[in-house]
Structure 1
Amino acid sequence: MRTYESKEALIEAIQIASQKYLAEFAEIPETLKDHRIETVAKTPSENLAYQLGWLNLLLSWEEQEQRGLTVQTPAEGYKWNQLGALYQSFYQTYGQMSLES
């Protein structure tokens, strides 16, 4: 696993990776956000929903841990062998958002 010399270096790496990731969606019109391409596993909307879902889960784990609570992973109501259903919940929760949001 890569290590970083400082907190600032980590933040910079995250910002660069985030900008590259978001740039991939910059040219996709809203009308194609749910378009499925045979060679790609997820639609643009599903891809972003997947990322938002995991990001929010990680943040919730951190919040719960800081409050002294037991963290239920991967998420309440889901087991690790039910990730497909968890991803579907991500798509339902975040998939209706605009690509421009």
Structure 2
Amino acid sequence: MQRFGATPDQISRAVANTGGDCLVLPENWPALLWFLEVADLMRFSDFGRCLGLDWVQVQAEAALSARAIEPALFAKLRRLSQAAMHHFNQRRASQ
């Protein structure tokens, strides 16, 4: 939401109104489901910093599962990976 210009107050109100649920638009479900399947392929540095998905392993997973990859789906997976990486690294920095 922040990337789209929402203020911290707007984000807080939106999160408070969800009851802890997260709305996923129908067009984003395939990317989210793929991300959940490959989330164990995240790479971490020796110092615990998240480096994002291991794209060679993601490509192997896609080939072995005969997954059809469209550019738009791949772009959404990349955004999910970047958001997860940012979240992991932010949480690590605050500990």
Q: Do the two structures share a fold, i.e. TM-score over 0.5? A: no
TM-score (norm 2): 0.30
TM-score (norm 1): 0.29
Going by fraction, where is strand more abundant, 1 or 2? 2
For the pair shown, the structure with the greater C-alpha radius of gyration is: 1
Going by fraction, where is helix more abundant, 1 or 2? 2
Query: Which structure ranks higher in relative contact order (CA pairs < 8 Å, sequence separation ≥ 6)?
Result: 1
